[in-house]
A and B are shown apart, each in its own frame.
Chain A
Amino acid sequence: MQAAPAPKVRARLTARTFIWLQGVGGLVGFALLLEIVPRSGIISPDYLPPFSTIMVALFKEMTTATFWTALSDTLEAWATGLVISVVAGVVIGIAIGSSHVLRALTHSTIEFLRPIPSVALIPLAVLLFGSQIQSTLVLVVYASFWQVLIQVLYGVQDVDPVARETARCYGLGAWAQIRYVTWPTTLPYLMTGIRLAAAVALILAITSEVAIDTQGLGKEITDTESGGAVAIMYAYVVAAGIIGVIVNLGARALERRVLAWHPSVRLDAAEAGA
């Protein structure tokens, strides 16, 4: 019998709306706090302008070409770096994960390289590329690649032995096994990896713009700060935060779509119905 989807979906929507409303409520509270603290003089408005002033500055800034160029520069570095990390993470992860020998050989090296903070590579990036986009890419890729690789390695090892044996019995060759068994098994892990990598990539893109002066939102933050335009500086900080939220929402939506068959997403429906 096929499960009747209608009531479950409705239940899930109500549950989601509720969670969404709670999130919005929290944000409104935070905005109120940012409004009151400077106005009451706890922190000088010279250093922290009231929230409304920041938002006015943001909307004004959004009418300038500078804002949109900076935004697209940041997004370009972010997206390029993320794509490189995901492709490299998947290919290398499946290759290493499918071989006991490779896994044993690379394990200690990965565990050594992974904790090195990307920021520690800033001097190297500057040395190699100055303040071009490549510098940003070095930092973004180095930070986000490990997130993807580690998840893919976990995923590849999670292939169900019964599924593997079934595939072998029914004549699936090595390539078909990767495509029809290993890849779908890895997908939930990869989606987690992508979500983590997307967030880290954005952080590093903006870090690089702040620290190396490559073009983008981060550069605007430092430029406006040194120019004394405090409200506009905060406007860019808020913009960076909003992009972070959008990136995360996008990654989650992608996850739900791609993993409709997966117990983690399936259970969502059952729990909301209960």
Chain B
Amino acid sequence: MDRAVKPMLEVNGLRKVYEDASRTVEAIRDVSFSVGQGELVCIVGPSGAGKTTLLKCIAGLLAPTAGGVVVEGTPVAGPPPAMAVVFQEYGRSLFPWMTVHDNVALPLKQKKMPAERREELIRDALAAVDLKGVNGAYPWQLSGGMQQRVAIARAVAYEPHVLLMDEPFAAVDAQTRADLEDLIRVLWHRLRVTVLFVTHDIDESVYLGQRVLVMSHAPTVIMEDVAIDLPDDRTQLETRSMARFGQLRKHIYSQIQLAKQGWRPPSP
């Protein structure tokens, strides 16, 4: 794929096989794609498509069996310093023994920056996700949607070049979910950060992404790389009622149905 912008994230021939004494499971067969600097790409696939495995390999949490991941030209061997991850399980990803402020501050403390700069980043990040006056609260005193906002603020304050999101809104209610989707679009525009967003929700992937990568059933390959040619200015009401939105949605839906039936693209 030829792109004008230089790649921020490259996945090359990634394969992951889980092996233990009794059995071998091939989770990912062969996945290659690249995400340009400042792009917002969604990965969508049926459940059991190895989405989480793929994301863990990209995040440097899991070593691939073959192939590799390159972030900003550097091969990934452990969690890359320029990457932040937002997990689906915000309640477990935020530390319940720390206040909201300290949760956001902790990664910054590891970066050894001056305290003033750190406080400034925390303030800006919490403001960016529309959270005010919760600094001293504990995460479990907040609603689910607000907790996920804290997790997003933590990622934003970290000043990542790449933001990975693993089904971040799967556990919140529909209205909160719509708000958080818009928040992601706003943050992405403002921070010009590269975003890789994993979801099982087809509508969400079309609404958010510039491109949608459709994954097959495990052992995973990429079924299709769909360009989302919707206008950049998206709103829940208008974008979702566009004819083009419906077409893209339908197209990806049929691909997912094929994936569920076990259809795979012919090997190149």
Contact = CB atoms under 8 A, between A and B. Distances in A.
Interface of A: 1-3, 160, 162-163, 165-166, 168-173, 176, 180-181, 184, 187, 261-263, 266
A261 B134 CA distance: 15
B158 to A, nearest CB: 6
Given A165-B61, A170-B158, A184-B97, A266 B140 contact: yes
Interface stretch (B31-39, B80-88, B255-263): B80-88
Contacts of A1: 141-143, 146
B24 interface: no
A169 B61 contact: yes
Interface centre among A180, A181, A263 (most CB of B within 10 A): A180
Given A166-B85, A168-B79, A263-B96, 5 more contacts: A1-B146, A2-B142, A171-B81, A172-B107, A187-B97
Interface of B: 56, 59-61, 78-79, 81, 83-85, 87, 89, 92-93, 95-98, 106-107, 110-111, 134, 137-138, 140-143, 146, 154, 158
A171 B93 contact: no
A170 B92 contact: no
Chain A interface SS verdict (over half): helix
Given A166-B85, A166-B87, A166-B93, A171 B142 contact: no
B34 to A, nearest CB: 21
Contacts of B79: 168-171
A172 B110 CA distance: 6
A171 B59 CA distance: 12
Given A163-B95, A169-B59, A170-B84, A261 B142 contact: no
Nearest to B143: A1
B84 A169 contact: yes
Given A172-B106, A172-B110, A2 B93 contact: no
A176 B134 CA distance: 25
26 contacts: A1-B141, A1-B142, A2-B134, A160-B92, A162-B92, A162-B93, A163-B92, A163-B95, A165-B61, A165-B87, A166-B93, A168-B61, A168-B79, A169-B60, A169-B61, A170-B79, A170-B107, A171-B110, A172-B106, A173-B110, A180-B95, A180-B106, A184-B95, A184-B97, A261-B140, A266-B140
A62 B95 CA distance: 49
Given A184-B97, A261-B140, A169 B92 contact: no
A142 to B, nearest CB: 32
Contacts of A176: 110
B93 A163 contact: yes
Contacts of A181: 95
Contacts of B93: 162-163, 166
Contacts of B61: 165, 168-169
A169 to B, nearest CB: 4
A214 B95 CA distance: 47
B110 A170 contact: yes
Contacts of B89: 162
Contact of A169 (B83, B111, B138): B83
A115 B40 CA distance: 59
A75 B28 CA distance: 62
Q: Which 3 A-B pairs have the closest CB atoms?
A: A170-B107, A162-B92, A184-B97
Nearest to B59: A169
A160 B98 CA distance: 15
Given A166-B85, A170-B110, A176-B110, A3 B96 contact: no
A254 to B, nearest CB: 16
A263 B96 CA distance: 9
A187 B96 CA distance: 12
B240 to A, nearest CB: 29
B55 to A, nearest CB: 10
A236 B137 CA distance: 48
A1 B106 CA distance: 23
Nearest to A185: B97
A180 B95 CA distance: 9
Nearest to B92: A162
A184 B61 CA distance: 22
A3 B97 contact: no
B85 A169 contact: yes
A96 B83 CA distance: 32
